[in-house]
Structure 1
Amino acid sequence: MPDNELCATCRFLHECVGNREKTQAAILRKHYIDKEMAPLLDKKVQKQLPNGNNIKVGFDKKGNKHLYSDTMARTRRVSADELKDIDIMLDNATYLNEAAHDPTHNNPFDYFYYFKATTADGQSVRLNIGRETHRRNDGRIIVKYICYSINNIN
């Protein structure tokens, strides 16, 4: 069937069925990142820092992949279904602390902000916000804040 006659869901199913070596976990991961978490890419959450500054935290595909991996492999306090609403969790989160970039970690961030959030069942997690700073060709500095990771805390 020509590609232009398939709906998005059909293309997704054909892709998953066509790749027999994918595990059920890989199919589920793809579903959550590409479908359930995709609306996050258009959302921003404003958070106030102790110094009075406000930052607008966004989401990107790479960060969403990391959030999903953290949730399934390490955190396990947040359900996969809660990930699609992690913007709401972040909106209700409280500031914990911040830190400079650790040069032993391989990521694009130069600074980090940490917020304590509560899961649907009342457990505490830490949402990690990374700051990316880039200088454009015209000399302007562009700063982005990305929600990229989640960890358990007591």
Structure 2
Amino acid sequence: MNTIHTNIHSTQENRIDNECCTIRSITIGLTFVIGMTFLHQWGNFQKSSILIFSISVVIVAYPLGYLWSLIIPNSKKFTLKEHGLILVMANVAYMHNSVYIHSTMTTLKAFDGKHIHFGYYFFFVLSIQFLGFGATGILRPFLVWPCELIWPQNLPL
């Protein structure tokens, strides 16, 4: 394959037969999302905040997936695509600092004394996140598909 990024293509070939959206990857990914979100949100209100980086998820998720494939009967081998999906899910939980609405709602409650109902808060955060992911999907042909726009810091080399 003769492309601009030959080192990317030489590290791992694309295997279409491997599944990535399995019960194993969803369960492990959701566990990391819920755990990281809880720890990050709890740490926001402490004097010393807790921050779990994505590399920690990479290191811990692979042994968990491999152990799952050994313990659970009739399960296939843990694949790199499942591992990648778990990392993508964990990165969503890692982006807690980019959700500025948490700070806004906390400031409104602390300084102005305004009570924000849970439903309003939940759907407002959800709509902001969906707008961000929707804009990403719309800009995908311009920012993701061209191989010249690969950001080297995102590659685990």
TM-score normalised by the chain length of structure 1: 0.26
Which structure dedicates a bigger proportion of its chain to helix? 2
- Which structure would you say has the larger RCO, counting Cα contacts within 8 Å and 6 or more residues apart? 2
**Structure-2-length-normalised TM-score:** 0.26
